[in-house]
Structure 1
Amino acid sequence: MIPLPPDLRAKLLANGAARGPDHAPLLKLFNPIGAATWLASELYEDGDTLFGLADLGFGCPEMGTFSLTEIASVRLPYGLRIERDLYFRARFGLTVYSDAARIAGRITEDERLLATAARARELNRNTEIPPDPDG
């Protein structure tokens, strides 16, 4: 199992219990010798199912659920395993990372691209046309 510090596990579980808002990712897992990366914002009460953005390195990152146990069971060459990025700190909600990943074709931490995705998301939110009250 990939060790999660108790405070991180508690925050992920709290986000999982409060589904709905666009939580910022709290956990980044990555393949140290490959392209696979996962950003997780929620942990379900089963203690294993994470919700977030998964990028297996094929150019099509997707939001959804994935198993912490399954990711921890991956064995890589040279005795390596999937690792937790100890220095990852999200600046945006998961949907901004998803939008930026769709543009880049991979999960990215490029500040310009993330800021652009955040601005576009904010503009879209502010330009929605309210429903016609007359139907």
Structure 2
Amino acid sequence: MPLIPEHLRQRLIINWELMIVAPEAEIETPDLYPEVKLFTPNANAIWLLTELNPDTNVAYGLCDLGVGQPELGYVSLDELESIATDGFEIEVDLQFDTYTPLSKYSELAKAAGRIEDW
């Protein structure tokens, strides 16, 4: 079973397409808002994702593995799904409601050393 529900997956793909079109259309690259929050209930890892390449199943966002070094980067959903099937719980926060662009989440997380519920 896929880690991310289809309706959220589609929102990530739309953002990925937007990020491709922006430079080609010579418009400013948007500062996207996270669409999906993944987390581990018992391991303090959190991923705030903004976009997804549907061809590679690689997402982009703010990644916090719970070790005090949150960073922007890419994560393979295939790898996360394989970890989740090995007994390591990864959940989608269906109540997540974004309020700020990813750059602001990144700034706050780097200052705090982790992604917090602000």
Query: What band does the TM-score fall into relative to the shorter chain?
Result: 0.7 to 0.9
Cα 1:9–1:75 shift into 2, 3 Å: closer
| Distance of 2:42 and 2:106 partners within structure 1 | 23
TM-score, normalized by length of structure 2? 0.83
Contact 1:41 1:50 in 2 (8 A): yes
Aligned residues: 109
TM-score, normalized by length of structure 1? 0.73
Among 31, 35, 48, the alignment partner of 1:39 is 48
CA RMSD of aligned residues (A): 1.9
Cα 1:15–1:101 shift into 2, 3 Å: same
Letter in 2 for 1:94: L
SS in 1 for 2:99: coil
Query: 1:5 matched to which residue of 2?
Result: 5
SS in 1 for 2:83: coil
After TM superposition, the runs of 4+ consecutive aligned structure 1 residues lying more than 4 A away are none
Cα 1:46–1:58 shift into 2, 3 Å: same
Letter in 2 for 1:103: A
Q: How does 1:47-66 map to 2 (within 5 A)?
A: 48-66=57-75
Identity percentage of aligned residues: 42
Query: 1:117 matched to which residue of 2?
Result: none
The structure, 1 or 2, with the larger RCO (C-alpha pairs under 8 Å, 6+ apart) is 2
Larger Rg: 1 or 2? Answer: 1
Name structure 1 gaps, 5 residues minimum.
Answer: 111-135
Q: How does 1:1-135 map to 2 (within 5 A)?
A: 1-19=1-19, 20-46=29-55, 48-75=57-84, 79-110=87-118
